[in-house]
Structure 1
Amino acid sequence: MEAVALPTALQLVASGDTGLSLEKRAALGSSLLLLKRDYRFERVWFWGCIQGVSGTYYIAQGLGPDLAAPRSRLYSLNCVEWNLLPPATEEMVKQAELLKGHFQGDPSFEYDSAGVNAEDNERFPDGGKELTITEEKRLVATIEQIDRAVGIIPRRAFMKTPLGSVHENRNFEGLSLMEAKKLSSYFHFTEPVNLKNKTLLEKADLDPSTDFLDSLEHDVPQGSWTIQLEKGCTVVVLRSLLWLGLTFYHVPMTKQYGYLYCGTGEKNLDLPFML
């Protein structure tokens, strides 16, 4: 969610456990503005927090003019001092997927084969003995996983230019209340998969400038999202059951929307058995 809209946004998702005290919120309000200035970002999003055993990682993302370009990710342990995370690689993501258990809260902590299930060790040389990954790398890989799986935007909120860059759609005035209650009105902000499999007839009904992403209605397993009307039916809130702690909000007929993750950074692998 936009750093400038943080106070209002936190109130709209207050029914969830954001884990942010008044002191932390005040610190974020000032430090995120300094972050934008110092790194010369076009905009700064407060992504959320990942709770560890001995500390909590607070995450921010810096963006440039092209919203589809790789984002700069930063973390803080006190909401004041920020550290730039390295870019997430596919190798980091694959290794992070195998790690189980809570984060430690120490960026320099190193994981090895002891943190990997026995059956997964076979996927690494010498039974996983070569697997070493710092918590800092696990952190950025987990953020990447969550963004790919449940980072979402309302339909028509972003526009893709003929050159491939993505920008805010200035004509977007929010979804209607009827639209906002449908999963098909929300898109994954990541490389589309289902869109490529659509037939030419199905694609003919889509606007390539705004319908260039996959909608949530095709998510597997079905039922991995909940939609609720809150604040006297003035706010639509979506929550992910796959990544518990991910909350998305949208105020219909306005440009107010965003998502926040506050959890342990662990995927809910039991979801198929819960539905």
Structure 2
Amino acid sequence: MNINSFNDISNTVGYSGLTLSLEEIVILRNSLIILQKENHFLNIFLWGKLLGIAKDYYISFGYRNDALHGQTYFYSTDGFVWDLLPKPNMRSRLLTPLCVSRLQGDPALVVDVYEQYANTKPFGTEVFKDHGRYFKELKEEDRLSSLVEMYNEDALIKPRGALFKRADGVVIENKVYEGLSIQDAREIKSYMHWRRPHQRWNTNLLTRYDYNYALDFLDTIDKDIPKTSWTLHIEHGTIAILRSLYWPGMTFYQKINNSEHGSLYIGYGKRNLDIPHMLHNWG
């Protein structure tokens, strides 16, 4: 969520029932403005809040030139002081999905994932066979970076037209973006993943009658599996609200016929892997 949208947070992502307190909004807004100036970011966003036992983690990111490939992430436990979030490594990517405990709120804490997983999963120790101690312990700071990466792959989104790919390949925010019409806002394919595309470049070309490569270079969320992993509602005919079933606590909003949009995640950093079972029961 852009810091300029903080004042209206209760009327946007607040529809999910999860929001930030007035004190948090004031603190985060002021500290992020400072962080943006110190790093010479063109724009800065509040990614969300990961709930821990002792302390919570606030996550933010900004970019200088490229809105897609140039993002830099930070974390804070108090909303004042921001530390650079390291990029995920092979070990953290492997072990983070196996962590069953909640985040503690201590970036320096090292947990024994081997012991956690073996005690809760049948034959869990086989996952770590022949990997040695290197693949058994995980620092919470590294776990944090992998959780952010996992979330971004699944649930960080932008509306169609909000990002523009220049001829030189640099992705920028579209200054003439005027929002989605009520008809487009009701369509799942009007929303795209804000990360490097996984689909072939011509995927949208073959499915959209109004294809424009400068706007349609990202994967649309209607290609996600299962297709019903997203919920979309139009509230009062003025705002579209999307939620991800994979990441409970994720809320995205787009004001109808307005350029304002954004998303916020407030949760425990747990991915919901029971979606097929849930959808089967609902069906």
Please indicate, yes or no, whether the TM-score normalized by the shorter chain is above 0.5: yes
Match status 1:146 vs 2:147? no
Determine if the alignment matches structure 1 residue 155 to structure 2 residue 156: no
Relative to 1, partners in 2 of residues 1:234 and 1:128: Cα closer, same or farther, differing over 3 Å? farther
Secondary structure of residue in 2 paired with 1:9: helix
Provide Cα deviations, 1:245-272, integer angstroms capped at 9, x if missing partner: 1100000111100110000000001111
Deviation, structure 1 residue 35: 1.0
Q: Cα deviation per residue 1:38-76 (whole Å; 9 max; x = unaligned)? A: 222221100110001111101111211111124211111
TM superposition shift of 1:195: 3.5
Q: Give the corresponding residue for 2:242.
A: 238
After superposition, the Cα gap between the structure-2 partners of 1:118 and 1:39, relative to the gap in structure 1 and judged at 3 Å, is: farther
SS at 2:150 equivalent: helix
For the structure 1 residues 128 and 101, does the alpha-carbon distance in structure 2 shift closer, same or farther, using more than 3 Å as the test?
Answer: farther
Q: Which runs of 5+ in 2 are unaligned?
A: none
Amino acid at match of 1:257: H
The one of 210, 215, 218 equivalent to 2:223 is 218
Q: How does 1:259-274 map to 2 (within 5 A)?
A: 259-274=263-278
Structure 1 residues 185, 199: CA separation in 2 closer, same or farther (over 3 Å shift)?
Answer: closer
Distance in 1, Cα, partners of 2:66 & 2:269: 27
Give me the CA root mean square deviation.
2.1
TM-score after normalising by structure 1: 0.92
Residues 35 and 152 from structure 1, CA distance in 2 versus in 1: closer, same or farther, beyond 3 angstroms?
Answer: same
Structure 1 residues not aligned, in runs of 5+: none
- Asked if structure 1 preserves the Cα contact closer than 8 Å seen for 2:158 and 2:193, the reply is yes
Distance 2:19 2:126 in 1: 37
Matching residue of 2:83: 83
- What SS does the aligned partner of 2:46 have? strand
List per-residue Cα deviations over 1:173-193 (Å, max 9, x = no partner). 111011001101000112222
Letter in 2 for 1:153: K
SS of corresponding position for 1:111: strand
* 1:109 correspondence with 2:105: no
Give the corresponding residue for 2:199. 194
Identical pairs, percent = 34
1:137 aligns with 2:138: no
Residue-pair matches, total: 274
